[in-house]
Amino acid sequence: MMELTKDTKVADVFKEYPWLKDELIKMDDKFKMLDSPMADLVLKKATLRDASGKIGLSIEEMAEQLEKMIEARG
């Protein structure tokens, strides 16, 4: 599994786990912004720290949620 840290680029996570973006959008309305055209531009530079702040989670909470989803998918 990819190591998820505060400095991990969101685009790198989605490149490694392309299905994750859709799963996040289904999971919570906070993630609907991931489906906008602007998101593609922003996500290239955004880190998990940036993303977690935008949706009101700590980096630890966000990393934990992502890791659980990745592990569940196998």
Query: To which residue do tokens 């602007």 refer?
Result: 38
pLDDT band at 47 (very low <50, low <70, confident <90, very high): very high
Task: Report, as an integer, the average pLDDT of 49-65.
Answer: 90
The mean pLDDT value of the chain amounts to 90
Query: 27: which 2 tokens?
Result: 């999971």
Interatomic CA distance for residues 32 and 29, integer angstroms: 5
Interatomic CA distance for residues 42 and 60, integer angstroms: 21
pLDDT for res 39: 86
- The neighbouring-strand residues paired with 72 are none
Query: To which residue do tokens 């991990």 refer?
Result: 8
pLDDT for res 31: 85
CB 1 within 8 A of CB 7: no
CB 31 within 8 A of CB 39: no
